[in-house]
Amino acid sequence: MRRYSAFAIAREAFRFHTGWERAWAAPEPKSDYDVVIVGAGGHGLATAYYLGKNFGITNVAIIEKGWLGGGNTGRNTTIIRSNYLQDPSAAIYEKARSLYETMSQDLNYNVMFSPRGVMMLAQTEHEIRGYQRTAHANALQGVSTEFISPARVKELCPIIELSGPRYPVLGALWQPRGGTARHDAVAWGYARACSDMGMHILQQTEVTAIHQSGGQVTGVTTSKGEINCKKLAIVVAGNSGHLADMAGFRLPMESAALQALVSEPIKPCMDVVVMANTVHGYMSQSDKGELVIGGGADGFNNYTQRGSFHHVEETVRALIETFPIISRLKMLRQWGGIVDMTGDRSPIISKTPLGNCFIDGGWGTGGFKSIPGSGWAMAELVAKGEPGALAAPFGLDRFKDGRFIDESVAAGVAH
Query: For residue range 244-264, what is the model confidence (pLDDT) as tens digits?
Result: 999 999 999 999 888 899 999
Q: How far is CA 60 from the centre of its chain?
A: 22
**Is residue 98 within a helix (H) or strand (E), and if so which, with residue range?**
helix 87-101
Task: Give residue 78's identity as a one-letter amino acid code.
Answer: T
**Beta bridge mates, 211:** 219
Q: Specify the pLDDT at position 365.
A: 87
CB of 220 closer than 8 Å to CB of 227: yes
DSSP 309: H
- Kindly report the backbone phi and psi dihedral angles of residue 23, in degrees, each rounded to the nearest multiple of 5, phi listed first: -70, -35
The helices-and-strands tally (H runs, E runs) of the chain is 11, 18
Q: Specify the pLDDT at position 409.
A: 56
DSSP E strand boundaries for 313-353 = 331-342, 348-351
**Beta bridge mates, 207:** 222
- % of the chain surpassing 70 pLDDT: 98
For the chain, the first-to-last Cα distance in angstroms comes to 37
Q: Specify the pLDDT at position 311.
A: 76
CA distances from 368 to 32, 95, 179, 194, 238 (A): 30, 13, 12, 19, 13
| Residue partners of 244: CB distance under 8 A and separation at least 6 | 234, 250, 251, 352, 359
pTM of the entire predicted model: 0.95
Q: Specify the pLDDT at position 295.
A: 82
CB of 238 closer than 8 Å to CB of 65: no
Tell me the CATH number for domain 116-178+255-342.
3.30.9.10
Q: Specify the pLDDT at position 181.
A: 97
**Of 367, 317, 407, 406, whose CA–CA distance to 72 is shortest?**
367
Classified as helix, coil or strand, 87 is helix
Classified as helix, coil or strand, 44 is helix
Distance CA 175, CA 173 (A): 7
Using 70 as the pLDDT threshold, list the residues of the chain that sit under it.
409-415
